[in-house]
Amino acid sequence: MDPFKRRQLGRTDVMLPQIGFGAAPLGELFTKVSDADAETTLKTAWDAGVRYYDTAPWYGRGQSEHRVGRFLYKQDRGELILSTKVGRILRAPIQKPDEFDTGFWSGGLHFDHYFDYSYDGVMRAYEDSLQRLGMNRIDTLVIHDLDWWHRGSEPMVQAGFAQLANGGFRALAELKAAGRIRAIGAGINELGLIPRFLELFDMDFFLLALRYTLGEQETLTEELPLCVERNVGIVIGGVFSSGLYATGPVPGAKYNYFEPTPEILEKARRIAEVCQRHNVPLPAAALQFPLHHPAVTSVIPGAFKPEQVTTNLDLVRMEIPADLWAELKHEGLIRADAPTP
């Protein structure tokens, strides 16, 4: 596959390359990353031809946006496609700022946050991101983490959707109409949310994380067919299931941010064995698999080292025989209805 072949994002005029750069690791998701390593990684990506970059205020509590912006603002703005997210507002800690706990992040900046999907919240998040990025516009803007995992309960999810319905989505539509963004998306981490968004809002695309990978394809049942029917684009995040399908079932490998169960490890082991029989690295199959679905526009693997960028691009360019996909289906390791060559 050509990593830089362009595909149209849903009904929009945005043409995304098949491979972009996911910048969550630059917010020190699992590993501390120096400013020098972040800069070198971004430069390696740019020099290799990567032109699509996805970040968010939540990634390292502002750190990823600062790092991405510090590098990209020096590049030709007309060449790049920049994506960030709304839904969280960063603010200084109210108590004991010198003892701040970064929590989920290995490092990052010492900012607290709160969720806000209202009109004012969306506009403030957008303007705050412009400042951190050093940019005066963003190409694609994503509603972030409006789900049960991050909000904690159905009433909190309902409250977020109510904020969007009562003004938050109007803010996004106004930004798009004014040419300040080019596409409106929503980040999806859980089943059941794509139909809910499509019922309420005129979505351009979804950033689907962890839910259409070699490890799981349940979104083939309802979510992805709906997107095909309505010509709504899909960008794939978490293509390696947060590690297991990059490294294989080795000690310490994570699956969707948690320790994998024995059943999940066994499935990954069997998939890796099929790949080995066809002389294909497991992460090559993981990167290319989602791109065969007609709704999928792009895949955005993360990186925090230069060699990760170049390796990902090499893996996308690798030829994978159709027999590999056929064997995975025959063994029941991927769904029979998953689009493959």
Residue 59 annotated in active site: yes
Q: Looking at 85, 117, 119, 245, which residue is catalytic?
A: 85
- Identify the residue whose tokens are 């027999």: 323
| pTM for this entry | 0.97
Residue 74 annotated in active site: no
Strands (E), 171-231: 183-188, 205-209
| 10 neighbors 233 (Cβ within 8 angstroms) | yes
φ, ψ of residue 148 in degrees (nearest 5) = -70, -35
- 183-188 and 21-22 beta bridge pairing: unpaired
- Pick the closest to residue 249 from 215, 279, 291 (CA basis): 215
Compute the average pLDDT of residues 254-274: 96
Residue 54 annotated in active site: yes
Q: DSSP secondary-structure letter at 219? A: G
Residue-wise pLDDT for 166-198, tens only, equals 999 999 999 999 999 999 999 999 999 999 999
Compute the average pLDDT of residues 236-263: 95
- Pick the closest to residue 54 from 88, 82, 25 (CA basis): 82
* Alpha helix stretches (DSSP H) within 187-320: 193-200, 223-230, 244-247, 262-277, 282-288, 306-317
Compute the average pLDDT of residues 131-160: 96
- Pick the closest to residue 83 from 296, 231, 298 (CA basis): 298
Residue-wise pLDDT for 71-92, tens only, equals 999 999 999 999 999 999 999 9
Q: Looking at 52, 54, 139, 245, which residue is catalytic?
A: 54
Q: Looking at 59, 117, 126, 212, which residue is catalytic?
A: 59
pLDDT of residue 221: 98
Q: DSSP secondary-structure letter at 112? A: E
Name the residue type at position 100. Answer: F
